[in-house]
Structure 1
Amino acid sequence: MALKGRKTNKNVPIMSHEFVIQNHADIVSCVAMVFVIGLMVQATAPISYMFIAMQHNVNQSEASNQIDPYVKYTYGSKDICAVFFYLLLCIVTHAIVQEYVLDKIIKKLHLSKVKNNKFNESGQLLAFYLFSIIWGGDIIFWENFIFNISSLWEGYPHTDMSSMLKFYFIIQMAYWLHTYTELYFQKVKKEDMFPKIQQATIMFMYILAAYIFNFSRVGILLLVLHYLSEAMYHILQLLEFFDKEENNNKVMQTVGSLASNIVFVTSRFGSIILAVLTFWFGLSQQSAHQGIDLQTFNFNSPGFRLLALFSVCSLQAYLMFDFITNQIKQFREIQPYYSGGGSSTKKVVNKKQLLKKQKDNVKRIHDEDNELTEVDQNTKKPSPISR
């Protein structure tokens, strides 16, 4: 299946940046196919297998009384190859979701270029968050991390991982690394790059730290909690693009915003509770595995536990601070509508605000009309005054 490139009115040179951007999904899929075809050739199969399959499986001793029927894995340098291969697949998947899902929805909505970018960003992130929540929740259920919460710290260091748990972290790292490539493929403006780079860098560093320092069990729980709150936020963002009648959707927006806020705050406090239970109470009770030992990949020392706890709690505090700041800003914006003197004063104020809002809407629609895509240039938009 070939992915369609973006339509253009002129033929671009093959070796140009525009050609690479328009056909990047096909180019990347061809590179990924090289590794797949390499499995069919005996000479190149070991190299291709190193990129596609999970590496560093743990050999269990036959003298052990209890042998796990499932193959366990640890981490190592060969994981870089797997991250690279699945980074390519993330780029291709990103293009498939964009072309066969988001672009078809956008054509029906007739959005401006600015709103197109916001819709695409929320749509892509929501697809990834929902996928990660479902997959991560399935791993948490089968690994019994919820009903046996003490397994988050008992037996540390958790150097052995199941194949699905290891694969989950490989995909997570590959996805957030592919975000950097999308800055080029999507031709993101310089002023819009920093928030995306900041988010991708923070997420990648936290996932990598949990993977390397053998905190994968508590790490996957923290990821699912974080993705749950982010998914609720982006669902609310996408619903706003489908709202046509403001009066009929005020209740829905209010309920959706309240639910999103509750999930966000709950996720933040849940993450802090998990971090305190694991790093402050749980790991401190593992007296047989105290201190840093690089040979056994043990990082259970008081200083390291405090650093890990501070890292998690500081991120949650930053997210809560940003959340509270936005809530205060929104409250200040709507406060003038509910303040004023007598009823006559309120009517005058409301009338002035209505006229100002109508003028702003006319100006906004005129600006958005100039930013419409070529398909929507001839589409006549109704005036907000005539609604």
Structure 2
Amino acid sequence: MVVLVVVKLRAEMVMDCSTGLERFQVKFFYLCQLAYWLHVLPELYFQKVRKEETPRQLLYISFYLLHIGAAYLLNLTRLGLVLLFLQYLSELGFHIARLFYFTDESHNKLFKVWAVGFVLTRLFTLTLSVLVVGFGLARMENQWLDLETGNFNTLLFRMTVLLVVCLTQAWLLWRFIHFQLRRWREYRQEQAVRKRVTVKQQPKPVKRDAGHHENGVIKAENGASPRPKKVKAP
């Protein structure tokens, strides 16, 4: 009996230690993410980013800080880990496509693969957020606000999280579609200009007669006169 109690206590201690270690690792990961995106802000000044690029970079950094901070404070760490993994995987594909394009401009097919992956990432993010926050948390019993235990599972917080996620993903998709349409229009204009230049550079064909005139008589190319036609006698 004593042995069973000792084994049970050791098992509970191991579980508590593993749970505590897991919590520490998750917290450390989120703190590193927040520290990274905060340190990017002063880098905009030291890297001398152009003024027209600064608002876009600030908005990009703000989105990361908002979503990572909200997932950490609202105890949505597991959902945030999955969504961050998908987002970073999509960005990794984009940078790989850029590297291949910089080495050789003919390697642009990877951008098409990244475009498909980007759209799928946005759709999967929306679907997973709705399933976890909208349906999963709504079926749990603890439907109250408790700041001491970190329970924010209320209807207001769930709707706010879903609204922020949906608006962000919709904005990203709209920017992506707008960018692709602009690139397509520029490509069509470049193709039209190239066709015009090619048509202008092509030499016009010169019409040549079968012979030339000399003293009122048509001479062939080899200098011989063509055979006269026989006129039938009346």
Class of the TM-score when normalised by the shorter of the 2 chains: 0.7 to 0.9
Counterparts of 2:76 and 2:130, CA distance in 1: 13
The counterpart of 2:198, out of the listed 335, 348, 351, is: 351
1:312-357 Cα deviation digits (max 9, x unpaired): 1111111100111111112212234667xxxxxx986142799xxx
Write the letter of the residue equivalent to 2:40. Answer: T
Corresponding position of 1:242: 103
Amino acid at match of 1:209: A
Q: How many residues align?
A: 193
Q: Distance between the aligned counterparts of 1:273 and 1:353, measured in 2?
A: 54
Q: 1:66 to 1:225 in 2, by over 3 A?
A: same
1:158-307 counterparts in 2 under 5 A?
161-243=22-104, 246=105, 249=106, 252-253=107-108, 255-286=109-140, 288-307=141-160
- Describe the superposition over 1:12-69 as per-residue Cα deviations: whole angstroms up to 9, x where unpaired: xxxxxxxxxxxxxxxxxxxxxxxxxxxxxxxxxxxxxxxxxxxxxxxxxx98984415
Deviations 1:228-256 (A, max 9, x none): 1112112222322222xx5xx2xx31x20
Counterpart of 2:211?
none
Distance 1:179 1:348 in 2: 45
The structure whose Rg is larger is 2
Q: Give how far 1:167 is off.
A: 1.5
Higher relative contact order (CA 8 A, sep 6+): 1
1:322 pairs with 2:169: no
Name the CA shift for 1:277/1:348 in 2 (closer, same or farther; >3 Å): closer
Amino acid at match of 1:226: Q
- The 4+ residue runs of structure 1 with deviation greater than 3 A are 62-67, 336-339
Query: Per the alignment, in what secondary structure is the counterpart of residue 81 of structure 2?
Result: helix
Supply the AA of the counterpart residue of 2:167.
S
- Partner-residue secondary structure (3-state), 1:191: coil
Q: 1:171 to 1:350 in 2, by over 3 A?
A: same
Paired with 2:85 and 2:164, the residues of 1 have a C-alpha distance of 17
Question: What secondary structure is seen at the aligned counterpart in 1 of 2:145?
Answer: strand
Q: Offset at 1:191? A: 3.1
TM-score by length of 2: 0.73
Over 3 Å counting, the alpha-carbon distance change for 1:283 and 1:242 in structure 2 is same
Give, in whole Å, the separation in 2 of the partners of 1:63 and 1:322.
56
Cα 1:233–1:221 shift into 2, 3 Å: same
**What pairs with 1:32-111 in structure 2 (closer than 5 Å)?**
66-67=12-13, 68-73=15-20
The 3-state SS of whatever aligns with 1:238 is helix
TM-score where L is the length of structure 1: 0.46
Asked if structure 2 preserves the Cα contact closer than 8 Å seen for 1:71 and 1:163, the reply is no
Identical positions, percent: 34
Q: Distance in 1 between matches of 2:200 and 2:47?
A: 38
